[in-house]
Structure 1
Amino acid sequence: MRQYMLFFFRTILLFSLTFMVVHADFNDGLAAAQAGDYTTAHNEWLPLAEQGDVNAQFYLGLLHSRQLIDWASQEQAVKWYLLAANNDHVNAQFNLGIKYNKGVGVEQSATEAFAWYFKAANNGHPEAQFNVANMYRDGRGVEHSNEQAATWYKASSINNLPQAQANLALVLHLGIGIEKDLTMAYVWAILASEADTRFIAIKELVAEEMSNDDKKIGDAAPLWRLYKVGEPDLWKDHHRYLHELRAKEVILSA
């Protein structure tokens, strides 16, 4: 029994030491990259990536994709991104979507681009969610669907991407793929325009169709004020917006 326990603890100790060495090697590579020594970073990450370290695989992809090493290759970038993406690395999935969308290091394919964007979108990547929405809107790489486009604009908006918030404001304003709702269009346009002044024009566009009373409701964001100012129907229709926005801390301060 004593010999078994010694073997057990030696095995645990060996595993712990191995994990510490691997972690140290990855951090050494990260420190080298931050210092601009990409060759050292590559040499630290390569054996880890070959052993299946998903973060090392992703960063090797970056070194190749951004041509930060002398032997950089877009094909190698795709290779390492693919290994990381198949292990559910969300940024690798998104970057693969870009590669297929642009045909860099791989044959251009809107279908493959959509597939990888969609994987990243389902893993919560805001830019991927926005790209998925655009591809549904345009019918590119996937069957056209305004309803799906609106759904993914909403998901990306909840993740606080201003471009998505602006597009969600537009589809709510026009009632494309989603029920027309000027008040919510105005609220999302406010969020977008406060993050990026390019979207002020969208807020002004939506405001043109609104009464002064409706604009006051929108200007009174955060959304919980819809209930306090006596608009229970709006509250009922959009309580899920409120919950999701609170969770993501993107509601305007009172």
Structure 2
Amino acid sequence: MKRLILISLVLFLAVGCASEFNDGMEAFKRKDYKIAFEKWKPLAEEGHDDAQYKIGKLYREGLGVSQDYVKAYKWYYILAKKGYGGGYKYMKMIRREINPDQVSRAEKLAREWMKEHE
């Protein structure tokens, strides 16, 4: 019985997470980037890979938020460490736009985030 309750809870949370991500996608398609950011940021903080990628994109392109290559790099670094190839691609792209101190700061932020979310 406990196992059934646990499985039900996990499924409920997964559906809620997917719903929030999809709400963000709909907002993004409407070019309502602030709403997309609001939907995706909590998911990214929880470790949702697709949300982390999208938050990186919003920061990289300055969509709905001030353009911030350091924050974008942080999210791509986290994805790269998870084995997501797109993370490496965008890290390389951003490195052309920022200085070594900014790269170090972004990597430090990412490592701190990863340590908190082990």
Task: Check the 8 A contact 2:58/2:65 in 1, yes or no.
Answer: no
Q: 1:88 to 1:69 in 2, by over 3 A?
A: same
Matches within 5 A, 1:176-195: none
Q: Is 1:86 aligned with 2:85?
A: no
Q: Is 1:15 aligned with 2:10?
A: yes
Q: Aligned equivalents of 1:33 and 1:92: distance in 2?
A: 20
Q: Could you tell me which of 41, 50, 58 is aligned with 1:46? A: 41
Q: 1:106 to 1:59 in 2, by over 3 A?
A: farther
Residue 50 of structure 2 corresponds to which residue in structure 1?
55
Give, in angstroms, the shift of residue 43 of structure 1: 0.6
Query: Quick one: percent identity of the two aligned structures?
Result: 26
Matches within 5 A, 1:139-218: none
> What amino acid is the match of 1:40?
I
Task: Check the 8 A contact 2:20/2:40 in 1, yes or no.
Answer: yes
Q: Aligned equivalents of 1:42 and 1:21: distance in 2?
A: 17
* Count of residue pairs brought into register by the alignment: 101
Residue 107 of structure 1 corresponds to which residue in structure 2?
100
Which structure has the higher relative contact order (CA within 8 Å, separation 6+)?
Answer: 2
Which is helix-richer, 1 or 2?
2
Q: 1:78 to 1:99 in 2, by over 3 A?
A: same
Task: Check the 8 A contact 1:32/1:40 in 2, yes or no.
Answer: yes
Secondary structure of the structure 1 residue equivalent to 2:100: coil
Question: RMSD in angstroms over aligned alpha carbons?
Answer: 1.5
Unpaired runs of 5+ residues, structure 2, are: 102-118
Q: 1:77 to 1:106 in 2, by over 3 A?
A: farther
TM-score of the pair, normalised by structure 1: 0.38
Q: Is 1:35 aligned with 2:30?
A: yes
- Structure of greater Rg: 1
Give, in angstroms, the shift of residue 72 of structure 1: 2.8
TM-score of the pair, normalised by structure 2: 0.79
Task: Check the 8 A contact 1:38/1:68 in 2, yes or no.
Answer: yes
Task: Check the 8 A contact 2:32/2:64 in 1, yes or no.
Answer: no
Secondary structure of the structure 1 residue equivalent to 2:38: helix
Q: 1:30 to 1:75 in 2, by over 3 A?
A: same
> What amino acid is the match of 2:62?
Q
Q: Aligned equivalents of 1:43 and 1:50: distance in 2?
A: 12
Unpaired runs of 5+ residues, structure 1, are: 1-5, 109-254
